Amino acid sequence: MMIRFFTKPKNISGNNIKLSHDDSEHIRSLRLRPDELFVVCDQCGKDYICKLAKDSRGLAQIVERRESCGEPSVKCTVYMAYSKGDRLDYAVQKSVELGAFEIVLFESKRCVAVPSNIPKKIERLQRISLETAKQADRGIVPTVSDDTVFSNIIDTVSTGLHRTDFESLLFYEDETNLHLKTVLDELSPNIDSIAIITGPEGGFEASEIKYAKTKGIPVVSLGTRILRSETAPVVALSAIMYHTGNL
């Protein structure tokens, strides 16, 4: 498998791609030979097979252009509550591996811990997303962001409910009537985007579930077993990817 880098379209000119300083240093540390190939992705669905340009430091020469094949047909935005320790690291890494389009963090009433320096935490998780996207042959680097409050998440997601190509799912351990399999079996073939919402270590409070339901968000069960906060988004995303033919 060829090593993978990401760039922005503005860095592509003709048959050359200007590499970032970090990528140039990485290539230098790998001691790539002039004829060794690597991939540069423009994050817009296009992969460029490249080799180092002769006598030009930090410049890649394009050998071949082709479509990125690492992106699923369904865009899944994963909304996950803050959790303590390295649980978020794991959840973000695995979500990117499985094909999440975007990851949004939020604070729920039962969150055990919220970072004191959220921008620094987001920066770290974005680096994890980048490195995982490289390893997983993704066509994009999923964005990791913060929306702070649970109600904001629900308000944002509920605005898409009128669309026939959008579905939203909030997973709750005390839900007994609506199961994920039922939802997936009834999923419209026209679905283009899905929002996944999972809670913190302590689970959602009843008042939060009530608010989500008043906004029309389906509340769904992931089964009879209680999943950890970092496991729930991974299980939900895996099931969706499998059901939609992306796994």
Same-domain status, 178 and 206: yes
Of 16, 35, 67, the position where a domain reaches its end is: 67
The predicted structure's pLDDT at residue 45: 86
- What is the distance between the alpha carbons of residues 198 and 233, in angstroms, rounded to a whole number? 6
Say yes or no: 215 and 170 in one domain: yes
Residues 84 and 164 in one domain: yes
Reported as half-sphere exposure (CB side, CA atoms, 13 A), residue 231 has a value of 9
Q: Show which of 67, 90, 122 is a domain's final residue.
A: 67
Predicted confidence (pLDDT) at residue 56 exceeds the cutoff of 80: no
* Residues 49 and 106 grouped into a single domain: no
For the range 14-17, what are the long-range contacts, defined as Cβ-Cβ under 8 Å and sequence gap of 24 or more? 15/61, 15/62, 16/53, 16/56, 16/59, 16/60, 16/61, 16/62, 17/48, 17/50, 17/59, 17/60, 17/62
- On the question of pLDDT at 96 being above 70, the answer is yes
116: CATH: 3.40.1280.10
Query: Tens of pLDDT along 157-186?
Result: 999 988 999 999 999 999 999 999 999 999
Shared domain check, 174 and 91: yes
pLDDT at res. 2: 87
Instruction: Kindly report, residue by residue over 32-52, the tens digit of the pLDDT.
Output: 887 899 999 999 989 999 998
Q: Is the per-residue pLDDT at 55 higher than 80? A: no
180: tokens are 């994920």
Amino acid at 202: G
On whether both 235 and 113 belong to a single domain, the answer is: yes
Mean pLDDT score, 237-242: 96
- Do 91 and 169 reside in the same domain of the chain? yes
Alpha helix ranges (H) inside 35-78 = none
Question: Are residues 204 and 94 part of one domain?
Answer: yes
Domain count for the chain: 2
- Return the CATH number at 31: 2.40.240.20
Confidence at residue 148, expressed as pLDDT on a 0 to 100 scale: 77
Q: Which helix (H) or strand (E) holds 124?
A: helix 118-135
Residue ending a domain, choose from 43, 67, 91: 67
151: exposed, middle or buried (C-beta count within 10 Å: 0-12, 13-18, 19+)?
Answer: middle
Per-residue pLDDT, 31: 85
SS3 state at 168? strand
- Whether 46 and 133 share a structural domain: no
pTM attached to this predicted model: 0.91
Question: Are 98 and 171 found together in one domain?
Answer: yes
Residue 138, amino acid: R
Beta strands 102-107 and 219-220 are: unpaired
| pLDDT tens per residue, range 179-233 | 999 999 999 888 999 999 999 998 999 999 999 999 999 999 999 999 999 999 9
Please check whether residues 80 and 172 belong to one and the same domain: yes
- For residue range 98-144, list pLDDT tens digits in order: 999 999 999 999 998 888 999 999 999 999 999 999 999 999 999 99
Shared domain check, 82 and 36: no
Place of tokens 């990528």: 23
For residue 106, the enclosing domain spans 75-243
